[in-house]
Structures are given as structure tokens and as C-alpha cells.
Structure 1
Amino acid sequence: MLCGRRGFSFGCVALVKSIYTVDGGQRAVLFDSIRGVRDFTVGEGTHFLIPFLQKPFVFDIRTRPFAISSVTGTKDLQMVNLTLRVLSRPDINRLPEIFRTLGQKYDDKVLPSIGNEVLKAVVAQFNADELLTERPHVSALVRDSLMRRASEFNIVLDDVAITHLSYGAEFSKAVEQKQVAQQDAERSKLLVAKAELERRAAIIRAEGESESAKLISDATAAAGIGLIELRMIEAGKDNAASMCRNGSVMYLPDSSSNMIVGVNPGH
């Protein structure tokens, strides 16, 4: 009777061990102690195996995010800090090979290594400032190169994106100095333009004064000495009228001459 109970218990344990379940978003690889890793993938659902001889290894086949950070040098020897966000999943048809060569933690073993390799190779083709001005092109190169490299390990990358990019202190200082130099250059251009405008204005003003003097000279030459005498008479009248207003002199104009007579109120 004791043997019967033991046999029943062993049978229950064997039955439990012979059943396993693969959940949604998962696949299983079956390892056989005699034949090794089987060359097929087990899908979702409940399955049977030979207890104590076979063992299932379950893989998550859903797309998962993975971050890769790298510090590398640019073409002009500037250090840049880059972070990639990678969405990866295993190639379902290659799960037995992945398990055989890399194990269940395949992404931790492969992605950081190939990510750093690709980043260093791509960044070395560009100057530091080109990483900003040509960022879409840089991202495309990184994405294509990393997808191609990951496929060699039977890993599918659904998306690759540069999420962080920063430079070292030396480059930041150089950029600041360049901006200051550009501002100084623009300021110098404005000063030169202002000086040029002032020079042109002075030339135009001098030409105007010269033209005015020429016109006066031409008018004088055309009118003769009479114009000069007329200006002298008009100036003399103005001076005499001014002196008469103070009461000490009297201005007596006539047809032949202009007379100024002194008047002394006390005599």
C-alpha cells in the first residue's frame, strides 16, 4: 500500500512536470537532455514535455526599449556624449539559435557592444557642429548601421533614435567664443557701414557747397561790379539805420549821397 501511494505521488509529480504554459507575447525553446536544443519554437498555450528529460526556456518576443550610452570622439577631435533609445525584439524563427549562442539575456550581451561600435564609427565621420546641423542624416546612418549589425545576431530593431547629445566643456567654451567673435564681426561691419555713409554724406555736402559757391561766382561775374556796389549800399543803409535808432546820429539820404549828421542833445 505504501508503494502504491509513492507511485501515485510520483505519477502526480510527473504529470505536473510534464505540463507547461507559454503566455501571450512569449515563445519557448525546448531543451532535451539527449538531443540538446530542439530546432523549433513553441507557441502560446499549454504544452506537454517529457518530465526530467526536457525543459522549456521562455522568451519574451514583445518589443522592448533599451538605452545605449557612449562617449566618443568626432572628426575634429571633440568629445561628445550620445544616448540611443533602441526598440528591440528577437527574431522568432531564430530563437533556438539565439538560445544556443547567447542565452535568454541576449540583448544585454549584444546591444551595448554593437551600439557603442556603431556610434563610434558614425560619429568619427562628422565634425562636432555637423552632428547638430546634419542630425537627421547622422540618425539615419546610426539606425541603418545598427539594424544591419543587430540582424547578424538575429535581433530585430523596430526603431533607433538619438535621445541625448551633449558636448564637453572645451567644445562649449569654443562655441561661446565663436559666437562672441561673430557678434564682434557683425558690430565691426555696422561701424564700417556707418563710416561709409558718413563719408558719402560729407562728399555730397562738400559737392553742394562747391556748387553753391560756383553759382554765386557765376552770378557775380554775370552782373559785374554793380552787384557788389549794390550789396555795399544796402549794407551801409542797414548800419546807418541801426546807429540812428540810438538818438546820437541822424541819417539824411538824398539822391547824390547818404549823410550822417552827429546830434548832441546837450548843446
Structure 2
Amino acid sequence: METEKVVDMIPKNPKNLKKIFVFSFIIFIVILLIFNSFVIVDAGNRGVVTQLGAVQDRVLNEGLHFKIPFIQEIIPMEVRVQKEQTEQTAASKDLQVVTTTVAVNFHLNPDIVNKLYQQVGMSYKERIVAPAIGESLKAVTAQYTAEELISKRQEVSTKVKETLAKKLATYYMQLDEINITEFKFSDEYNQAIEQKQIAEQQALKAKLDLQRVEIEAKQKIEQAKAEAESLKLQKQEVTKELIELRKIEAQMEAIKKWDGKLPNVTGGSVPFIDVNGLQK
């Protein structure tokens, strides 16, 4: 039988092995450099460039960009509209405790996000936005009474927006809109408001009742005046001929009711019929 020959795959020359190792390492480094030489900034973001930890003036727009491998780093920062909703407690002009729920829409200034990152970092909501909302609400709330905060809600919202916009602009952010969704007052104040409304309703009812009584009284006075005027006119129109006519009408009415018999007992008033007068 022939002995099987085992093929040795390992190069017998150590120099060739070293060359293969070096070549593979170089290929790996090249691939690594290629992959680390490009970065993609997603839509709605900007890229902050840092070089060995130092923030650069250049800001990358959306898309594919070249960077120096292992030296430069790209930090993405969202420039879309962001929302921050919070509850803030403040005191009104009449020293009522007011808890305000407000929703704020804002966005980062795309051209200078590098400055925001350099001065504040990524936690700008906690460090800047939330405190600025609280300060703005307290400053504006103190200018109005609790009742005015409700009746002048739009005016209050406008002032808060103006104040907050200035504070955010200091840190390279732009305010889009704010919405005050709710005002909450203490239980004592709510009870006082309820009692005030009840009192106003009762006062209104009393006023309406008084007006109704006054109107009815005036109507009665006018009615009495009209009746008196009517009687006055009737008296002015009474003449001798009218009196005679009324007598004749009364006698005619008596004739219609008479049954032709004279009463057996006389002592009361018996209707007198003037026949001659009738003939005339």
C-alpha cells in the first residue's frame, strides 16, 4: 500500500508568513480608516465638529461628510421643533398661589449649534429651557391678579412668550410657540370664587325681581290713570239729552221684564213707567 502524503499548508519560509500578517494588518487599517473617514448627518440634525476635544467653528449640514479619522468627532444635534411641557407654581399680584401648565415649542438655531454644545452641552432642556419657562411665568404672573390671569389669558400668554423668547435667544435657541393649557388655584380661592358667583347670581335675581315689581307698579299706575281719564272723559260728555236717553233705555228694559201684574204689596220702590214719555 502506498502511504498517503500529508500536504503542509504552512509556508516553510517564516519571511513569507510575516509578509502575509503585515499585509493583512495594513488592509485592516485601511478599511478602518475608510470607514472612519466619513460620517452621515441625518435629516433634521446638524453635526458639531470636535477635533481632539475642541469644538470647531464648522457646523455640518445634513448628508455625507469627510472627517479626519480618530482626530475629529461629529456630534449630531437635533434642530427640529422640540416640545417641553411643565408645571410651574407662582404667586399672582393679589398673592394667590397659581400653578400653570404650559407647553413650549422651540428649536435650536441650526447655524450656531456648536456654540450651544460648547457652552451648555446636550442637557440644554434641563439646564436652560425648564428654568427659563419657570422664570418667565413667575415674572408675568406677578403682574396680574388671579382673576385677570383667566380673563386676560391671551395677553398673559403673549407676555410670557416675549419674555421666554429673549431668555432662549441668549443660548442660541428660538421660541416657536407657547400654549398655556391650565391655571390651577388653591382650594380656598376656588371656594371663594364659587361663593362670589353665588352672591352675584342672588344679587342679579334680586335686581330682576325689583325691576319686575317696579314695572308691574308702573303698569298699575298707568292703568289707573287710563281709567281715571276715561271716567273724566265720560263725565265731560254727559248731556241732558244723554240723561233722557238713559232713562228711556232703563224704562224699556223694565217693560221687557214686567209680566203685566201689579205687585200686591207696595212699599218698596215700584218702577215708574212714563207712558206719555214713551209716546212722545
TM-score > 0.5, shorter chain as reference: yes
Match of 1:175 among 193, 197, 200: 193
1:107 lines up with 2:115 in the alignment: no
Instruction: Supply the RMSD in Å over aligned alpha carbons.
Output: 3.7
Q: CA deviation at 1:90?
A: 1.1
1:164 lines up with 2:185 in the alignment: no
Aligned to 2:105: 87
1:125 lines up with 2:133 in the alignment: no
Within-5 A mapping of 1:65-80? 65-80=83-98
Contact 2:84/2:130 (CA < 8 Å) preserved in 1? no
Contact 1:22/1:28 (CA < 8 Å) preserved in 2? yes
Taking structure 2 as the reference length, the TM-score comes to 0.71
Q: Name the SS of the counterpart of 1:249 in structure 2.
A: coil
Greater strand share, 1 or 2? 1
Unaligned segments of structure 2, at least 5 residues: 1-17, 275-280
Contact 1:82/1:162 (CA < 8 Å) preserved in 2? no
Q: CA deviation at 1:21?
A: 1.0
More deviation, 4-13/109-118: 4-13
Contact 2:37/2:68 (CA < 8 Å) preserved in 1? yes
Tell me the matched-pair count: 245
Q: Distance in 1 between matches of 2:271 and 2:132?
A: 116
Closer/same/farther in 2, CA of residues 108 and 181 from structure 1, 3 Å limit? same
Q: Distance in 1 between matches of 2:80 and 2:226?
A: 85
Q: Name the SS of the counterpart of 2:146 in structure 1.
A: coil
Contact 1:27/1:60 (CA < 8 Å) preserved in 2? yes
Aligned to 1:23: 42
Identity of aligned residues (%): 27
Match of 1:12 among 31, 40, 58: 31
Q: CA deviation at 1:66?
A: 2.2
More deviation, 139-148/196-205: 196-205
User: Which amino acid in the other structure matches residue 139 of structure 2?
Assistant: A
Q: Name the SS of the counterpart of 2:129 in structure 1.
A: helix
1:39 lines up with 2:57 in the alignment: yes
Q: Name the SS of the counterpart of 1:129 in structure 2.
A: helix
Q: Name the SS of the counterpart of 1:122 in structure 2.
A: helix
